[in-house]
Structure 1
Amino acid sequence: MPGTTADPASHAVPVQLSRTAEVRPITVAGTAQRCWDFAPADTGAAGSAGDDAGLPPVFMVHGFRGDHHGLLRIVEALPRHRVLVPDLPGFGEGSPLPGRHDVPAYAGFVRTALAELGLGAETVLLGHSFGSIIASRVAAESPELISELVLVNPICEPALEGPKAITSKAAELYYRAAAALPEKPGMALLRSPLIVRGMSMLMAKTREPGLRRWIHGQHDAYFSAFANRTVVLDAFRASISETVRDVAARLSMPVLLVAAELDDIGSVRGQQHLARTIPDAELVMLPGVGHLVHYEKPNEAAAAIEDFLARRHS
């Protein structure tokens, strides 16, 4: 079945998405989940043989309040790889899980997805932002499942410490208020176009008008695609309660950190400290970009990933 190509939010903007996917169903704890399975661009079906058949598949985990759409520009920039991107449970087309949507629950989802999709130990696990916390937890607890770990905009510092604490606490109050209100006004607050646009404007660092419009369109279209208020509050609390640093010393596989010079959530110093804490890590710092590497510099991120994997698999 065809997957995502260019989406409605990208019309009239110079960003094209051309790869298509088979949408794979996954059952996790009795819930229906979905994963977009992109075959290498020069083959006809996921996992089929070709010149790049020896390249490892890449399984991607998106960030908080996003869904698989957010990582599609990096998917586009890795055409030689089979790439699999699910929606996290409770976001996009993912059904809510029973119980709390915390890091252990999401890590369990990733482990189940890897097994159900038949992915072996050669798989590369990639996480962006909140996805970096989930992916690093999986890698630390189940290192036998993957070959390499790639973290894009990794969460390297506690959200409630340092200069980000006031912003993080204000955000927590926002999510708490949305959860405490009656259903209709609570959902309206969470999905407020003004608040979503404000978040988008703060995160986008590019000065290209067309790209900024496209980023805002992506957030308008997908940032409010969640199942209910409980999922959002649970996931937000999870996103500010843990960091990659918590499990860094336990990461036994090669790790690539793709960080950003202007990231408001992870400082350059924090990323450098994280890299030193991981036994086998490489840090690539992209200039002139913030927390939206996946939107603003996907080609540069993909080039770093390709170089990292080529040297590891040569």
Structure 2
Amino acid sequence: MTESTRRCYADVAHGQMHLITAGDPAGRPLVLLHQVPSSARMWSAALAPLARRGHHVVAVDLPGYGGSDPLPGRPELTGYAAAVTGVLDALGIGSAHLLGHHTGASVALTLAATAPDRVRSAALWGIPVLDPEFARELAAEPPPRHDDTFPDDVTGWWRSRAEHSVHRLRGPVLARSLAEMLQCGAHRPDGHNAVGRTDHDALLDRITGVPLLGLTGDREMLDAETRAVVAARPGQVELAGLGDVGMDVADEAPELLADTVTRFTDRAELLRDGGTARAGTPSG
């Protein structure tokens, strides 16, 4: 965190949501939605770069993660999306641009499909349109067992996460990610379960009028899935390939991420204002 960031809580229907904000509240609203199991802290390195480019950045801890209260019952993507809408209401924001990562991208798609009037655009890192077997695995992912096997679970999680963190910042990123994973406790798989149960193609079919950007990198675990979605939906989803980066893009390349997202939100704002520019051209 830096001096330019602020922490706060928003009261929503199911409880409280923890937020990290940055930038001028009068700026262009941009809501950041994290992967799971993680929290708004995964965006830490990108908050200031996005704020410097004129965004009012609101990084949300999704329900059950970070400092946010969990949803009651079995969480679904619609519940996460409703909680984000509650944050917008609490902050007096009518509509916002969204930047979602993995599960956060699923939440962003859900919000764009169910409440398009609240979404100015959605940039999606790793679009989780998954093969059926992987989706079933996520839907059935069990909560952690806090017994004598838990140390092995933690070690296995660290090793698995390390496979996707091959950059120079991997040590601090893995330490932060482990803390985030432990913090969510039994709610660790909730977001994955909801993603696995959801037909993302059906979500995309419902979205009209909301500009969509598929973000990916050469080392992103959902690179092929993201590119396949863009190829299958010309004119609906544009592509931005950021080169030699992976799932830790906010840590690896925060300035590049901020530049790419800002160009996209610039175009989306122009379209909202009645401009004639195209929604975007594939860039990678």
- Is the counterpart of residue 119 in structure 1 residue 103 in structure 2? no
- Is the counterpart of residue 271 in structure 1 residue 226 in structure 2? yes
Code of the aligned partner of 1:255: L
Residue of structure 1 equivalent to 2:280:
none
Q: Distance in 2 between matches of 1:282 and 1:236?
A: 25
Note if contact 2:120-2:268 (Cα within 8 Å) is conserved in structure 1.
no
* TM-score where L is the length of structure 1: 0.76
Residue 88 of structure 2 aligns to a residue whose secondary structure is helix
Aligned match for 2:260, one of 299, 304, 307: 304
Note if contact 1:128-1:151 (Cα within 8 Å) is conserved in structure 2.
yes
Q: Distance in 2 between matches of 1:184 and 1:22?
A: 34
Residue 203 of structure 1 aligns to a residue whose secondary structure is coil
- Is the counterpart of residue 19 in structure 1 residue 16 in structure 2? no
- Is the counterpart of residue 62 in structure 1 residue 22 in structure 2? no
> Which sits farther off after the overlay, 282-291 or 235-244?
235-244
Matches within 5 A, 1:156-195: 156-158=129-131, 160-161=133-134, 169=137, 175-176=141-142, 178=143, 181=145, 183-185=146-148, 192=154, 194-195=155-156
C-alpha RMSD of matched pairs (Å):
2.5
Q: Distance in 2 between matches of 1:145 and 1:241?
A: 24
Residue of structure 1 equivalent to 2:278:
none
Q: Distance in 2 between matches of 1:100 and 1:134?
A: 15
Q: Distance in 2 between matches of 1:213 and 1:272?
A: 29
Aligned match for 1:34, one of 15, 18, 22: 18
Q: Relative to 1, partners in 2 of residues 1:186 and 1:57: Cα closer, same or farther, differing over 3 Å?
A: farther
* TM-score where L is the length of structure 2: 0.83
Q: Distance in 2 between matches of 1:263 and 1:88?
A: 22
- Is the counterpart of residue 234 in structure 1 residue 219 in structure 2? no
Matches within 5 A, 1:67-86: 67-79=39-51, 80-86=54-60
Residue 249 of structure 1 aligns to a residue whose secondary structure is helix
Q: Distance in 2 between matches of 1:217 and 1:77?
A: 23
Query: Please, which runs of 5 or more residues in structure 1 have no aligned partner?
Result: 6-17, 41-45, 48-52
Q: Residue 244 of structure 1: CA displacement?
A: 4.0
Q: Residue 213 of structure 1: CA displacement?
A: 1.7
Q: Residue 107 of structure 1: CA displacement?
A: 1.5
Q: Relative to 1, partners in 2 of residues 1:313 and 1:172: Cα closer, same or farther, differing over 3 Å?
A: closer
Residue of structure 2 equivalent to 1:95:
69
Q: Residue 87 of structure 1: CA displacement?
A: 0.9
Residue of structure 2 equivalent to 1:149:
122
Q: Distance in 2 between matches of 1:189 and 1:243?
A: 33
Residue of structure 2 equivalent to 1:50:
none
Q: Relative to 1, partners in 2 of residues 1:21 and 1:218: Cα closer, same or farther, differing over 3 Å?
A: same
Q: Residue 243 of structure 1: CA displacement?
A: 5.9
Matches within 5 A, 1:45-60: 46-47=25-26, 53=27, 56-60=28-32
Q: Residue 272 of structure 1: CA displacement?
A: 2.6
Residue of structure 1 equivalent to 2:204:
248
Q: Residue 279 of structure 1: CA displacement?
A: 4.3
> Which sits farther off after the overlay, 303-312 or 82-91?
303-312
Residue of structure 2 equivalent to 1:200:
161
Q: Give deviations 1:123-146, integer Å, cap 9, x for gaps.
A: 102211111011101101110112
Q: Residue 234 of structure 1: CA displacement?
A: 2.9
Note if contact 1:92-1:225 (Cα within 8 Å) is conserved in structure 2.
yes
Q: Distance in 1 between matches of 2:117 and 2:149?
A: 42
Note if contact 2:39-2:65 (Cα within 8 Å) is conserved in structure 1.
yes
Q: Relative to 1, partners in 2 of residues 1:22 and 1:219: Cα closer, same or farther, differing over 3 Å?
A: closer
> Which sits farther off after the overlay, 150-159 or 255-264?
150-159
Note if contact 2:126-2:215 (Cα within 8 Å) is conserved in structure 1.
yes
- Give the aligned length: 266
Aligned match for 2:170, one of 203, 212, 232: 212
- Is the counterpart of residue 135 in structure 1 residue 108 in structure 2? yes
